[in-house]
Structure 1
Amino acid sequence: MFIDKVRIHVKGGDGGAGCMSFRREAHVPKGGPDGGDGGHGGNVVVQADASLSSLIEYRFKHHFKAQRGTHGKGSRMHGATGEDLVLKVPVGTVVREYFEETKETGELIADLTHDGESVVVARGGCGGRGNIHFVTSTRRAPAFAELGEPAIEGWIELEMKLMADAALVGMPSAGKSSLIAKMSAARPKIADYPFTTLVPNLGVATSGDLSFVVADIPGLIEGAHEGRGLGHEFLRHIERTALIVQVVDLTGDWEGRDPLEDYEVISRELALYAKELAERPRIVVANKTDVPGIEEVCEQLAACVKADSLAAAGGNEFVESPIDPKLYRISALTGAGVEQLKAAIAHKVHQLREAAREQAAAEVQYDCIWEHKRAERDKRFTVTEEEEGVFRVSGPQVERMVVQTDWDNEEAITFLQHRLKRVGVDDALRRAGARDGDEIRIVGYSFDYESPEGAVDIYQELDI
């Protein structure tokens, strides 16, 4: 079964809690703090695997969680780090944020185009620090430690796009499946009715010392760019291919279609779906030349292709056009002309590969862009007045600080006050108009605002 788009929920492992402990040994009456740190939670990693061909592994299971870190112990014994959870996906998978509430996709996280390429989609929480970290010149025996940090969690969308060098596109029953069967070892279903092919097929073709991967894309119809038929489902698979091979049925099939109109319809649908597809290198193939009486329409198609090639080159015949001016005449049934077509595709693909390799070497690579954006979003927080005298502070980083605090320990709460002040919560509350006695809410806790400087030292757990 071919599954090419799924949405899954991922959650890293929570961090382990730090330990509050003091060294107690014979002849060491004042050993000092020795609580170890909690272990970091494991990450959820999406990794490209060349041995996979679809996302069927995620069709029924949609929730994935990495291992949590273990708690720290006394004698400076740190907790173990949780194991990463690696989710294998096919090469060519695009990973995006997904918001389940609004059913919308967000930022592009990664485009996994190479075997073994990976990206962290849900980081594990940091382990809480033991009390050995909170010793200062005035606080010699800190009697508190941090709880583990909650992990990042959320929905992501996995979309697989075929990684092929050349894509066979055309109207239903144009002979694409027969052609890929002649060109490669692929054995797609072949029959004399439209939409025989319902999922893309891949095959490896060889011509001399050159080889290329060719994809048989299910038939397109007019309006495919708007989603008619299976348009959107399969047009996206053409986006990655370096070369488009447009197959035209010279006979018009049993429907009696006009081959010239078929050629125009497919060209137009590619351009309407994505402008760059109109500028993608293209070879036009006239199929079913073994059928008698198609010579005239074949010559008319050749003239159209040549005219379009000249127009794409801006009317200058000395400028290379993305459309090959030559019409390749073949019969996928008898094999006539297929070897010459394979040689032309292999040569063109080789040129495009070399050009792409040079361009990639010249480009500056910016890794972890999404991770930096996520970190910046984490630091942001908002202050909103829910009702008169009640303010809500919201933000990932601020909320994690509150969750990491041991609310049964007054020293830990005092330490939280200083952390909130450092990140600017106090200043933001003052700017929002908070006054003495106002209630400040952060996740499931509330505080009384006590002074113009933002001192917060009375707390209670909300019953929510």
Structure 2
Amino acid sequence: MSQFTDICRINVKGGDGGAGCMSFRREAYVPKGGPDGGDGGRGGNVVIQADAQLSSLIDYRFKHHFRAERGTHGQGSRRDGKNGEDLILKVPMGTVVRELDPDTQEVMFDIADLTHDGERVIVAPGGTGGRGNTHFVTPTRRAPAFAEKGEPAEEHWIELEMKLMADAALVGMPSVGKSSLIARMSAARPKIADYPFTTLVPNLGVVRAGDYSYVVADVPGLIEGAAEGRGLGHQFLRHIERTALIMHVIDIAGGFEDRDPVEDYRIINSELAAYASALAERPQIVVANKCDMSGMTERVARLKEAVLEDGHEFFAVSALTGAGLQTLMLAVGERVAELRRELAETDEPTEDFSELWERRRHQRDRQFQVVGEGPGIWRVMGTGVERLCVQTDWENEEAVIYLQHRLSRIGVDKALEDAGCEAGDEVRISGYSFAYEGADENVYEEYEDDELAGE
């Protein structure tokens, strides 16, 4: 029996970018050939992709670290490095991808909700390849003797949570007959026994009734307090969130404890409302099971009255004998078809999550802040400026001058001055430090506009 895994956390890292090449053309009879260093290849992306053939996240139960291929370095003769291959991680449809805080491991925000087959999102973009020295030629600098290093890719943790994609969900107290119902209604073969919590993982079954075909989920039994996490409440309740229709199953006989069916009905609805207010407003069909048992007439009438007062449909059935099941299946099929039509009318086009994620990344790259770390010591923090420093060859004076130009173009010099930084103060960025000399615009005029400056 395959294991069911519906939530996991993994560490992802794109491939590092390859370094640009510092090279000059060397040919016979050409004593002073120009620069011809190629660019480094871009690192591969880590991509999460929905796959209709998968039903759990078992592939990520034991392996938690995933790395894409790095780009290769550029070479002379303008030969660019090869881009790294993307690493595609497949997940079931209905998987929510979330960003985790690197320090607390708490969920920060949703990255994507992959509900369609083939839908994908880049969760760890590969590093940009460094530019070769051909990019730094200017009218006054004909032979730049430096190139960029490749951009190191970011590494972070994400959470994958699978929520079942079903049209209707069977909910109710433990041992009310949900598994027996789904076994009768579909080809699903869940474990069935006469003790509570027989079902520990959700089961899916395809129901065909008349012209209708729909998917039903058998969600493990809920108990009072499930919305607060009692039992396995949170793990089970989240699978109901996606379903368009709730099939609320009641054991009309009251089970071993001889529970009151109306009270059971109220308790489960209270738990659904407590977990998510939207669930209380979800279309609901109430199913009184085990109606084949003798002496149930008064109980059925009392439950039916309570259900109709709440505006829900009511059906009395027996999973054991099959009584009333065909009528129920047709009614559910009709209701599901109506809900699908309503959804189709209001459904918006699927968003390109990768494009959204990339926009967020660029916005984050442009942001930085200056903080004082002591008398005459300042630190500049920000993803973009830190990456510029990492891509710089600090042993090369020309490369450092070019870095100063780039920092000036994106407003770092002005931000330092506004913060009170004076000439001679120490400025720290990432693991590097240098003395602040102030901005001299004339030094930088020969260089091209910088990408981060947004020009």
C-alpha distance in 2, partners of 1:225/1:107?
22
Query: Aligned pair count?
Result: 441
Letter in 1 for 2:304: A
Mean CA deviation greater in 192-201 or 363-372: 363-372
Correspondence 1:12-91 to 2 at 5 A: 12-91=14-93
Which secondary structure state, in structure 1, belongs to the residue aligned with residue 407 of structure 2? Answer: helix
Contact 2:100 2:106 in 1 (8 A): yes
Q: Compared with structure 1, are the counterparts of its residues 120 and 275 closer, same or farther at alpha carbon in structure 2 (3 Å cutoff)?
A: same
Q: What's the offset of the Cα at 1:427?
A: 0.6
Query: Which residue of 196, 199, 214 maps to 2:198?
Result: 196
Query: Which residue of 421, 433, 445 maps to 2:420?
Result: 433
Q: What's the offset of the Cα at 1:256?
A: 1.1
Q: Compared with structure 1, are the counterparts of its residues 418 and 296 closer, same or farther at alpha carbon in structure 2 (3 Å cutoff)?
A: same
Contact 1:447 1:456 in 2 (8 A): no
Q: What's the offset of the Cα at 1:455?
A: 11
Which secondary structure state, in structure 2, belongs to the residue aligned with residue 285 of structure 1? Answer: strand
| 1:273 to 2:260 alignment | no
C-alpha distance in 1, partners of 2:442/2:8?
48
- Structure 1 residues 209-235: Cα deviation after superposition (integer angstroms, max 9, x where no partner): 220000000000111111111110010
| 1:351 to 2:338 alignment | yes
Correspondence 1:208-227 to 2 at 5 A: 208-227=210-229
Please name the residue that 2:138 is paired with.
136
C-alpha distance in 1, partners of 2:160/2:326?
37
Q: Compared with structure 1, are the counterparts of its residues 455 and 239 closer, same or farther at alpha carbon in structure 2 (3 Å cutoff)?
A: farther
| 1:340 to 2:342 alignment | no
Contact 1:448 1:456 in 2 (8 A): no
Which secondary structure state, in structure 2, belongs to the residue aligned with residue 343 of structure 1? Answer: helix
Q: What's the offset of the Cα at 1:272?
A: 1.0
Q: What's the offset of the Cα at 1:204?
A: 0.5
Taking structure 2 as the reference length, the TM-score comes to: 0.94
Query: Which residue of 169, 172, 175 maps to 1:170?
Result: 172
Correspondence 1:244-323 to 2 at 5 A: 244-309=246-311, 323=312
Identity of aligned residues (%): 66
- Structure 1 residues 54-104: Cα deviation after superposition (integer angstroms, max 9, x where no partner): 111111111111000000000000000000000011111000101242121
Please name the residue that 1:374 is paired with.
361
Q: What's the offset of the Cα at 1:453?
A: 5.4
Please name the residue that 1:398 is paired with.
385
Please name the residue that 1:154 is paired with.
156
Q: Compared with structure 1, are the counterparts of its residues 23 and 383 closer, same or farther at alpha carbon in structure 2 (3 Å cutoff)?
A: same
- Structure 1 residues 365-416: Cα deviation after superposition (integer angstroms, max 9, x where no partner): 5653333223211211111111111111111000000000011111111100
Please name the residue that 1:313 is paired with.
none
Please name the residue that 2:97 is paired with.
95
Q: Compared with structure 1, are the counterparts of its residues 364 and 220 closer, same or farther at alpha carbon in structure 2 (3 Å cutoff)?
A: closer
Letter in 1 for 2:344: R
Letter in 2 for 1:377: R
Contact 1:450 1:456 in 2 (8 A): no
Which secondary structure state, in structure 2, belongs to the residue aligned with residue 52 of structure 1? Answer: coil
Q: What's the offset of the Cα at 1:150?
A: 1.1
- Structure 1 residues 255-303: Cα deviation after superposition (integer angstroms, max 9, x where no partner): 1111100000011111111111111111010100000001001001111
- Structure 1 residues 177-214: Cα deviation after superposition (integer angstroms, max 9, x where no partner): 00000000100000001111111000111012220000
Correspondence 1:174-185 to 2 at 5 A: 174-185=176-187
C-alpha distance in 2, partners of 1:233/1:37?
49
- Structure 1 residues 313-349: Cα deviation after superposition (integer angstroms, max 9, x where no partner): xxxxxxxxxx33xx10100111111111111111111
Contact 2:53 2:92 in 1 (8 A): yes
C-alpha distance in 1, partners of 2:160/2:361?
18
- Structure 1 residues 155-195: Cα deviation after superposition (integer angstroms, max 9, x where no partner): 10000000000000000111000000000010000000111
Which secondary structure state, in structure 1, belongs to the residue aligned with residue 310 of structure 2? Answer: helix
Q: Compared with structure 1, are the counterparts of its residues 454 and 142 closer, same or farther at alpha carbon in structure 2 (3 Å cutoff)?
A: closer
Which secondary structure state, in structure 1, belongs to the residue aligned with residue 49 of structure 2? Answer: strand
Contact 1:172 1:220 in 2 (8 A): yes
Letter in 1 for 2:43: G
Q: What's the offset of the Cα at 1:148?
A: 0.4
Letter in 1 for 2:93: V
Q: Which runs of 5+ in 2 are unaligned?
A: 445-455
Contact 1:430 1:454 in 2 (8 A): no
Which secondary structure state, in structure 1, belongs to the residue aligned with residue 294 of structure 2? Answer: coil
C-alpha distance in 2, partners of 1:452/1:213?
65
Contact 2:408 2:439 in 1 (8 A): no
Please name the residue that 2:347 is paired with.
360
Contact 2:254 2:260 in 1 (8 A): yes
Give the RMSD, CA atoms, in angstroms.
1.6
Please name the residue that 1:462 is paired with.
none
C-alpha distance in 2, partners of 1:451/1:67?
40
C-alpha distance in 2, partners of 1:455/1:27?
37
Please name the residue that 1:450 is paired with.
437
C-alpha distance in 2, partners of 1:406/1:196?
63
Letter in 1 for 2:111: I
Contact 2:122 2:357 in 1 (8 A): no
C-alpha distance in 1, partners of 2:364/2:253?
58
Correspondence 1:322-333 to 2 at 5 A: 323-324=312-313, 327-333=314-320
Please name the residue that 2:449 is paired with.
none
Which secondary structure state, in structure 1, belongs to the residue aligned with residue 379 of structure 2? Answer: strand
C-alpha distance in 2, partners of 1:296/1:93?
44
- Structure 1 residues 406-434: Cα deviation after superposition (integer angstroms, max 9, x where no partner): 11111111100000001111011111111
| 1:421 to 2:423 alignment | no
